[in-house]
Amino acid sequence: MAKFLYVYHGSGKMPTDEAERKAAMDAWTGWYGKLGQAVVDGGNPVGMSKTVLPGGKVENNGGSNPTAGYTIVEAKDIDDAVIKAKDCPILTNPAFTVEIAPIIEMM
């Protein structure tokens, strides 16, 4: 099985209401449960990033497509990884997307 990086993109807000936070966590836990042992690293959300551009210029806004978090999964191939990502709870928010890239083992 190959490993794939799911990079979540978008700029949404974390739920502030306890019931909304619990519902969000339950959705993620359910999805991870459905994926089972395919989840290599459940990842985490990330804070606002900085982007270093050629010439050393720095953008403080996460760039044009800010990263919201990541997960690493195992799948037969990229098409299988895409199928697994289609049920990702982050996709219930139209402001978010999931980018999928194969991890190339160098060592």
Q: Note the pLDDT of residue 84.
A: 98
Q: Note the pLDDT of residue 31.
A: 97
Q: Note the pLDDT of residue 2.
A: 96
CA 46/CA 8 separation, integer angstroms = 10
Q: pLDDT tens digits, the chain, 107 residues: what are they?
A: 999 999 999 876 777 889 999 999 999 999 999 999 999 999 998 988 888 889 999 888 777 788 999 999 999 999 999 999 999 999 998 889 999 999 998 88
CA 18/CA 68 separation, integer angstroms = 20
